[in-house]
Amino acid sequence: MRAVCVIGLGLIGGSVLRAASAAGRPAWGTTTSADDAEAARADGFDVVEVDAALRRAAAEDAQVVVATPLTAVRGVLREVAEHAPQAWLTDVVSVKDPVAAEVRSLLPQARYAGGHPMAGSSSSGWGASSGHLFSGAAWAVTLEDGTALDAWREAAQLALDCGAQVVPTTAGAHDSAVARISHLPHVFAAILAAVGADGGPLALSLAAGSFRDGTRVAGSPPDLVRAMTEGNRNALLDAVDDALGRLGAARGSLASTGGLKSTVDEGYDARRYLEDLATCDRTTETVRLDAAAPQRLRELGELGGRVVALTDDTATVEVPTAA
């Protein structure tokens, strides 16, 4: 099994290190956080300085995983370029187009495929990490026309070894999708929390499940939320415009007729569709990893398909029938 070098040992990076180690991979990490480094070492993990970690990665032909906030990616990639310029490279950053652009600029010889596990919590740091965080989760792995299939396969296999299921997609399609289902919810959670607080102690004392569920991610570290949302500015603006249009229609309906039927019914149906996709039967397709594979894998990803197994020559994809 290929060794893994994880750069950044917070919630996601720490969970990757734990899961990769549990899967039997040789694995080590590095972090600029003294607290995370001390805690990871106390848990028995190998944590070294970044230059030593990357020299070892180059010597062992390891997979390098960038697990830092978007704002730190450029500096990390410069370190990788210095010590392991031809590395197998992936990342777990929540926005893909900006990372891919930095890789093209700084590491043109790297064997890169971007990644984003769709799992997390409002807590952060090594102490919040878990080797089971990715179990059954979707993990996007980007597959562009220019992505080498062996680089994509390495990144996808790491995701599978961590317990996730792989969604093949492009960086642009990923960023548009997560703007709607991840980044916009963070913005809405922040607004909802502030609107609730504007109601004063009485309103907050009456807050129960729906308010707590809707504002959970507002408890995430603000710097991480800003890096994620601001780093996906263009796609998020499209999602915000869509949401504002729907809010405007809801307000107009409430003001003119006193009703919210259209808004509530559409939301109910959308939520039911989400649940149907998660629980419906799935068909299985085997895709040969040849020149035609990227297009077919992306098509299946657009339908909600997930790669659940890989061999040297094939990918097994499960596709929801509800799609």
Per residue in 192-217, pLDDT (tens digit) is 999 999 999 999 999 999 999 999 99
CA 34 and chain centroid, separation = 25
Q: Which domains does the chain carry? A: 4-169 (3.40.50.720), 175-259 (1.10.3660.10)
Dihedral class, residue 50 (left if φ above 0, else alpha if ψ from -120 to 50, else beta): alpha
User: Which residues are paired to 270 by β-bridges?
Assistant: none
pLDDT at 63 over 90: yes
Q: What is the pLDDT of residue 322?
A: 80
Helix (H, G, I), strand (E, B) or coil at 66: strand
pLDDT band with cut points at 50, 70 and 90 for residue 124: confident
pLDDT at 323 over 90: no
pLDDT at 297 over 80: yes
- For the chain, what is the mean pLDDT? 96
pTM of the model: 0.93
Q: Are 95 and 119 in contact (CB under 8 A)?
A: no
